């Protein structure tokens, strides 16, 4: 009986230590995530995951126009005509437009933060 009690208190101590160790690990992870969030807030927004910029061509009257759009793997962007529906594409316009430059900066930030 005495041996059983010693084993029981030993396993309770080990379980208690395991819980404290997990709690420390979780606190450390939360601290690390908060630091990453602050860094992102300091450096600006990043593009959504699995997105890239694509260039496409539109043929006008004897002229070819090039435009850019942000493309995601899944439909995540609100549609221009219906905010309740989602699309894989976000129109960025011509090279050098504010939307295009913003998307390039966000993609660059996302790449550096990986």
The token pair that represents 39 in the structure block: 């860094």
| Dihedral over Cα of 31, 36, 42, 47: its sign | negative
Q: Is 78 helix (H, G, I), strand (E, B) or coil?
A: strand
Which residue numbers in the chain have pLDDT < 70? 1-14, 40-46, 110-114
pLDDT for the residue numbered 85: 92
- Tell me how far apart the alpha carbons of residues 44 and 59 are, in angstroms, rounded to a whole number: 36
How many C-beta atoms lie closer than 10 Å to residue 40's C-beta? 14
pTM: 0.54
> How far is residue 90's CA from residue 104's CA, in Å, rounded to a whole number?
13
């Amino acid at each position: 009986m005495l041996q059983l009690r010693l084993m029981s208190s030993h396993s309770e101590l080990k379980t208690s230590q395991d819980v404290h160790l997990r709690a420390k690990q979780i606190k450390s992870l939360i601290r690390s995530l908060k630091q990453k969030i602050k860094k992102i807030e300091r450096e600006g927004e990043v593009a959504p995951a699995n997105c890239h910029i694509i260039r496409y061509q539109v043929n006008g009257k004897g002229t070819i126009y090039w435009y850019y759009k942000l493309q995601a793997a899944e439909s995540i962007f609100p549609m221009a005509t219906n905010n309740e529906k989602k699309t894989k594409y976000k129109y960025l316009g011509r090279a050098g437009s504010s939307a295009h430059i913003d998307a390039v900066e966000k993609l660059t930030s996302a790449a550096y933060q990986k």
